Amino acid sequence: MSSTPSLFAFIANGPLCAEDAMADKSFASRVIWDAQSKRSINDPAVLPIYQSAGWVFRSLDEVDAVYEGRQPGTIYGGSGVPDHQALEALVSSLHGSEDTVVTAAGMSAFTATIISLAKSGDRIVAARDLYGNTSRLLDDLRKFGVTTDTFDASDPASVTDALRSSARLVIVETISNPRVRVADLTAVCRAAHECGALVIVDNSLASPYHCQPVRFGADLVIESITKFLGGHMDLTLGSVSGPASLLGPIRLLAARLGLISATLDAWLAIRSIATLDVRLARSSANAGEVASWLASHSKVRAVHYPGLATHATHSLAKGVLERGYGSVVSFELEPDRRLVDRLLAALAHIKLVLSFAGVSTSLSHPATSSHRSLTADQRRAIGIHDGFLRLSVGVENPADIIGDLARGLAAV
């Protein structure tokens, strides 16, 4: 045995454990205590995966200091380990926010945030264009006495109108899913703050590469890290960013509700965000090319992309988004799902995938997936029919993406 106390001996027996006290351990103890790792004096270049639910403290004073935030430290896996803390610092930096809580999914970030801030009798005002599960979550809250009214987030008159009576929370998406309509964040935040409401912006389609909603006055920013921040369709994570005064209670509630992610996903997200800038520079430029090409195709009824001059929110997008207009392009065929099946069968590389924002281009069909839980009437109200498709443009060569789409559309 080495004369330097090993990490595990240190943990099990305290810093001054005598080697002779270890010598007569039984086999049953050696299988547990004898995994030896010397404390390293140099650091790994890449943050390790801290796969530990339990964390060791040397004294009760140290427990107090970590709980009270006077000393950095990890309390318990269920409240986040150093990989989560590193990811939270990274997302806070990208959003220019004071604090961030990382959760197991975008929807858990919404759950913790809304449960923390809303109480029975409160009114929420939400954009009409919302991700399907967010709309359903707001429906779920009705049984707890929290009601929701909707408005058009790209129309300042609709915003003012919706906020004539008081509201606790206003919820909008920077770029809506799937109609990719850009919200008038400045008008929404001004009107909300005038009536004392907090603004929650779901920034999942933009990511901090294209928009940092805090700069427009948003109180809280939610990311489905599952999407562009994760960027490889291999993890599920969410985050909420904002001032420490709001995030403190959200952090405790998220841990209490069991909403903190597995460590590996946080570690993967840190690795993925390192390429966010280069991935999105490529994919958003590709999306612009693909959108223009689709707009001139005879089989395509309509193209939705905020970068197109014909898009309903193009001029708003110029003020809200930077470095391009995002990597999601929606388009419409005639409202007939058989046409969609013909397209899918003829595509060689682009697959039907019920998520988006990976490095490879993929298609989804909101009516049967992300917006499946809405009634047909609710879908009709937001223009989603059987021929509506959402294309997530990846980082391949744009000519090859267009080539595959041309092959697919020729069969429609």
Ligand X SMILES: *Cc1c(COP(=O)(O)O)cnc(C)c1O
Residues in contact with ligand X by CB under 6 A are 105-107, 131, 133-134, 173, 177, 202, 204-205, 224, 226-227, 236, 238
Nearer to ligand X, 82 or 238 (CB): 238
Which of residues 85 and 392 has its CB atom nearest to ligand X in the complex? Answer: 392
Residue type, 199: V
Nearer CB in complex with ligand X: 157/354 = 354
Measured from the CB atom, the residue of 230 and 288 that comes closer to ligand X is 230
**C-beta of 268: minimal distance to ligand X in Å?**
14
Residue whose entry in the numeric block shows the structure tokens 């597995």: 262
Least Å distance, CB 117 to ligand X, is 17
Cα–Cα distance, 85 to 288 (Å, whole number): 35
Nearest to ligand X by Cβ — which residue?
106
d(CA 281, CA 266): 23
**Four-residue CA torsion sign, 159, 162, 168, 171:** negative
Shortest spacing between CB 381 and ligand X, in angstroms: 18
CA distance 7 to 15: 9
E-strand ranges in 194-320 read: 198-202, 220-224, 238-242, 302-304
Shortest spacing between CB 178 and ligand X, in angstroms: 9
Q: Distance between CA 6 and CA 193 in Å, rounded?
A: 56
Least gap, CB of 205 to ligand X (angstroms): 6
Select 179 or 251, whichever has its Cβ closest to ligand X: 179
What are the two backbone dihedrals, phi and then psi, of residue 127, each rounded to the nearest 5 degrees? -60, 145
**Residue 243, SS3 per DSSP:** coil
DSSP string, 109-122: HHHHHHHHH--TT-
DSSP state of 401: H
CB of 11 to ligand X, least distance (A): 35
Q: How many residues does the chain have?
A: 412
Q: Name the burial class of residue 378, with classes exposed (0-12), middle (13-18) and buried (19+) by CB atoms within 10 angstroms of its CB.
A: middle
326 or 408, CB closer to ligand X? 326
Q: By C-beta, is 204 or 212 nearer to ligand X?
A: 204
CB of 360 to ligand X, least distance (A): 17
- 3-state SS, residue 343: helix
Residue 107 or 221: the one with the smaller Cβ distance to ligand X is 107
What is the closest distance, in whole angstroms, from the C-beta atom of residue 115 to ligand X in the complex? 15
Q: Write out the two tokens for 272.
A: 């993925």
Q: Are 47 and 86 in contact (CB under 8 A)?
A: yes
Residue listed under structure tokens 């991700």 = 131
Torsion angles phi and psi, residue 275, rounded to 5: -105, 10
Do the beta carbons of residue 115 and residue 249 sit within 8 Å? no
User: From CA 364, how far away is CA 374, in angstroms rounded?
Assistant: 16
Give me the least distance between CB of 384 and ligand X, in Å please. Answer: 14
Nearer to ligand X, 22 or 317 (CB): 317
* Residue placing its CB nearer to ligand X in the complex, 131 or 151: 131
Q: At its nearest, how many Å lie between ligand X and the CB of residue 100? A: 15
User: Which residue type occupies 293?
Assistant: W
Report which secondary-structure segment, H or E, holds 94. Answer: helix 82-95
